[in-house]
Amino acid sequence: MIIVVYLRGAAANYYEEEHVNINAWADGNAANNLKDLFIVRFALDSTKDIWYSDYLNCRQDIIESVEEYNNYFKKLQKKVDPNNGIPAANTI
């Protein structure tokens, strides 16, 4: 991954600690890709609260297609629960 060359400070240290668990930048399981691991590690709690609020209040707009809504919903869901740890009964 080319991005590793540009990491500095805490991000570089984090990568050094976790590099054996990282398979790609953003492909596959959230537990194995650098992008999602960085979000989990470095996103502020206040940012995560906003994502969760957006997730809970996610509604399809009148002019929004089902596909657009579905893509937006999945994006929010991945931010809120990158490792699919929320039980299906509690998923919106």
Cα 70-33-48 angle, rounded to 5 deg: 60
Q: Which residues pair with 24 in a beta bridge?
A: 33
38/65 same-domain check:
no
CB 37 within 8 A of CB 27: no
Distance CA 76, CA 92 (A): 11
Residue ranges for the chain with pLDDT beneath 50: none
59/31 same-domain check:
no
Instruction: Give this prediction's pTM.
Output: 0.58
What is the model's pLDDT at position 45? 86
What is the model's pLDDT at position 53? 92
What is the model's pLDDT at position 29? 65
22/61 same-domain check:
no
35/52 same-domain check:
no
25/55 same-domain check:
no
73/85 same-domain check:
yes
- Per the listing, tokens 């657009």 go with 68
pLDDT in tens, 51-75: 889 988 999 999 999 999 999 998 8
Range of the domain at 3: 1-42
Q: Which residues pair with 33 in a beta bridge?
A: 24
34/15 same-domain check:
yes
